[in-house]
Structure 1
Amino acid sequence: MPRRFLQRYMPRPDTLKRQRSLRFMAPLIADSRLWLLTRRSVANAFSVGIFCALLPIPFQMLAAAIGARLSRCNLALAVGLVWITNPLTMPLIFYANYRLGSLFLDAPVRIAPMRLSIRWLTEQIHDIVPALFLGSLLSAVVLAALANLAIRLIWRWHVSRHWKRRQRRRRARLEAEFDD
C-alpha cells in the first residue's frame, strides 16, 4: 500500500488536537503509535474499521477508536472506515446481515409490510434482532479477516513491485555507466 498515498488523505494529529470538539480525546490523539502507516497498522485498522462498521450498534466510531487503541493500529483509518455504513448503505448492509443471520438460524425471513409501523416493528423485533446480530457478527468477522489479509497482500505486492523497479533502474544505470 503506498504510504505517501495514504498520508495525503490522512488528517494531521496536531490539527485534530486543536479542534474544540475533540479536546477530550487529546491523550488518544497525542499517541504517535496510533498514526503510524505500516503494513500491520493499516491492515489492522481495516479490520477494526470494517468490523465496527458492520455491527448494528450505536457509536460505531467510538467503538472503532477504542478498537484502534487496543490493537494499536491506525486510528484515522479505523474510524474513517466506519463510514462504510452510512445512511445510504446502512439499510442494504443490515438487511443482507439479517438475511445471513436468518439463513444460519434457519428462521423464516420477515417481509416488511408496504407501510412500516411501530406496531409491526415491536411485534417482529424479537424475531429480527437475533438474526440481525448473528448475521452482522458473522459478516463482520469474515470481512474484517479478509480485509486484513487483502491489505497485507496488496502492501507486500506493492513493496515487491517497487523493489523490482528500483533493481531494474540500478541495473540499467550500471549498464549505461559500463557502456560509457
Structure 2
Amino acid sequence: MLRYIKLKFHQIARATKRSVFLNKHFPRFKDPVYWVGDRKSFARAGFIGAFCMMLPVPFQMVLGSIFAYYLRANIPLATALAWITNPLTMWPIWYGGYVFGTWVLGSPDLFDQFGDIPLGSSQWFNEVFPHIWQAFFLGNIILGIMIGTVFYLLISHFHLIQWIHRLMKNDNSGGNASR
C-alpha cells in the first residue's frame, strides 16, 4: 500500500511539473525549493499553511500554494496544512476564531442570539453576519498569525529540539551506566 501511495505521489508530481499552464504562468515552478526544500522553505510553508488554514475564505489550499510559490516555500507542506480546515473541521475552527475575536474586541458573542436562523443561509448572511464579521475575521487572522508563528518556530528550530533531546538522552544513559 505504501509503495502504491509513493508511486501515485510521483505520478502526480510529474504531471504537475509538466503542466503547460503552470509552467507558462509560474516559470520557477520546477525549482527544487518548492518540492524538496530546506529548513527555511519548510518553516515558511508551516507559517503559510497554518495562516491559510485559519482564513475564513474558500480555496485556502490554492491560496496557500500561491503564497508558497511567491514566498519560496515548500508547496506540498503549505497546501497540506491549509487542508486542515475541510468541510468537517472548518465550522468549529472558524467558530473558535470568532470567539477569540470577540474576546480581542471585547464584544459580546452574538452567534447564539440568532439561533432560529439556519447557519449559512441567505437570511443568516443578511441578518447575522453583519453583526459578527469584524470579530470573525479579526479573530481568525490573529489566530492564523499566532499558529503560523508557532509552526514556523517549531520547524525552523527542530534541529535544536532534536539536539537537546539527544543531549538529554546521552546524559540520562551516561549517568545510569556509571552507577
TM-score band, normalised by the shorter chain?
0.7 to 0.9
CA deviation map 1:66-88 (0-9, x unaligned): 21112211111111111110111
Partner of 2:149: 145
Residues 158 and 121 of structure 1, relative CA distance in 2, 3 Å threshold: same
For 2:3, the equivalent position in structure 1 comes to none
Alpha-carbon distance change, 120 to 161 in structure 1, aligned in 2, over 3 angstroms = closer
Are the structure 2 counterparts of residues 23 and 53 from structure 1 closer, same or farther at C-alpha, using a change threshold of 3 Å?
farther
Q: Runs in 1 of length 4+ with deviation above 6 angstroms?
A: 160-165
Query: What's the TM-score, normalizing by structure 1?
Result: 0.74
Say whether the 8 Å CA contact 1:11–1:76 is kept in structure 2. no
Contact 1:39 1:155 in 2 (8 A): no
Matched residue, 1:158: 162
Gaps of 5+ in 2: 1-5, 170-179
SS in 2 for 1:37: coil
> Which position in structure 2 is the counterpart of 1:18?
15
Count of aligned pairs? 157
Q: Partner of 1:5 in structure 2?
A: none
Map of 1:170 onto structure 2 = none
Give runs of aligned pairs for residues 1-180 of structure 1, distance below 5 A: 11-12=9-10, 15-18=12-15, 23-26=20-23, 27=27, 29-110=29-110, 111=112, 112-114=114-116, 116=118, 117-158=121-162
Distance 1:155 1:48 in 2: 20
Percent same amino acid at aligned positions? Answer: 31
Cα deviation for residue 161 of structure 1 reads 6.2
> What TM-score, normalized by structure 2, do the two folds share?
0.74
Q: Which amino acid aligns with 2:161?
A: W
Query: Any stretches of 5+ residues in structure 1 without a counterpart?
Result: 1-7, 166-180
Q: Which residue of 1 aligns with 2:175?
A: none
The answer to whether the 8 A contact 1:17-1:23 is kept is no
Q: Give the residue type in structure 1 aligned to 2:139.
A: G
**Bigger mean CA deviation after superposition, 59-68 or 116-125:** 116-125
Superposed displacement of residue 28, structure 1: 5.3
